[in-house]
Amino acid sequence: MKEDSSKIISNSKAVVESTSDDSESTDEGVAEYGSCAKLVRLIDAKEESTKLFELDSRGGLNGAHCMWSFPCLFDEESKKFFVMLGDITIDKFTKSTFMNLVDFCEKLNATQMILVQNRDHVQKEEFRKLITVLDGHRVGKTGMTEMLTKERLNEWIMRFALYSIDLN
């Protein structure tokens, strides 16, 4: 039996609980935003309308084994919920994980879930097929321009693929 759990990392980007123990990391913002640092830099959202989460995909008989953690950012203003897939393999992104993410989004009254994946992912075709089955679609350059921070926009477009799933 698999289940997901969540921890609020930040409310309005002020750290409440950090789950990162990587004290030697040189990734900018990690100390302040934990595993959500990359999403904070990537997504163009106002500080006062963002909440950061780390959702764990758990497995085992009692859900004690953490299979993977998903850094997430919820923009309360646009009602978009961003999930960083990064380079996760498709076997870790199970149907149960997806359904729990959708359930979590709906509890926040999110209208859209945006999955962020590394553009050069080795299983991108498998993910594209899966996301299409889930009624999702790839976000084009125009859509990415509206969602991502402008100062590094070209870099983000080259590094990441975004997939949108409407929750209404």
Q: How many C-beta atoms surround the C-beta of residue 30 within 10 A?
A: 18
Domain coordinates of the chain in residue numbers? 3-166
Mean pLDDT of the chain: 77
- pTM for this model (two decimals): 0.76
User: pLDDT digits over 55-109, tens only?
Assistant: 877 665 666 666 678 899 999 999 999 999 888 888 888 778 888 899 999 999 9
Q: Specify the CATH architecture of the domain 3-166.
A: 3-Layer(aba) Sandwich (3.40)
pLDDT at 65: 60
pLDDT at 30: 43
